Structures are given as structure tokens and as C-alpha cells.
Amino acid sequence: MNIERQTISLNGLRFFSYHGAEVQEAVAGAWYRVDVDICADVRIALNSDSLNDTVNYSRVASIVKRQMDIPSKLIEHVAGRIATDLIGCFGDRIESMNIRVVKENPPVGVVCEESSFLLSLRR
């Protein structure tokens, strides 16, 4: 079998968090979504059926939640912290990842459904 890519994804993780550069954003909070795609070498898990041989979805969700619970001015900063934490947890198993942090209804002075930041990393 010639495996081209192995991607583990969590999409639409939703949090009420206190991020934003404006004072009212840090006080009032807002809804955010996070999508994570992790390309990882999990070939062993294809046969072993063991969580130890893959990127555990539950651990990924826990890491994202932990970082979303820490207030930041910028969603870019939040995405960077999530990436650093994921690499710290799963190490060399991660080949690349995309982390999208979406702020719903951002206060930009006009109707705007969402603003987002996409961080793409490759080892």
C-alpha cells in the first residue's frame, strides 16, 4: 500500500472565550470556532488499533480548549499557542498542521459573520 497522506481533523470546536484587542472584547467575550488538521505519521495505528500509535482526538481537543481558555489580544497568538502545545504533546509524529481560529461576529463596525486566522506549519 502506497500511503500518500494521513490527516486527522477536528472541525467546528466551539468555545466562548475572552480574546480581543479592545477592552469590551476581553470583558464581554465572544464565540469562537477552531478547526485543526494534523498530517501525522500514524501508519503503525493502521494495524495496531492502539491510541498510542496515533494522534488522539481527545488530547487534541483538550489542548485546544486549554489554550482557548487563556485570554489573548490576538487570535494569531492563540493559534500559535495551540500549535506549540500540539507539537509539545505529539512531537515528531506531526509532519504538518493547519489551525484555523474563527471569531464569530467580530466588532469591526459593519456586519461581519466571522473573522479568522489560518496558521499552516510544516516540519
**pLDDT tens digits, residue range 34-50?**
999 999 999 999 999 99
The three cell numbers locating residue 12: 467546528
* Cα–Cα dist 84/26, whole Å: 23
What per-residue confidence (pLDDT) applies to 121?
Answer: 97
Q: pLDDT tens digits for 65-120?
A: 999 999 999 999 999 999 999 999 999 899 999 999 999 999 889 999 999 999 99
The residues carrying an active-site annotation are: 103
Tell me: pLDDT of 1 over 80. Answer: no
Report domain extents, the chain: 7-122
Class of domain 7-122: alpha beta
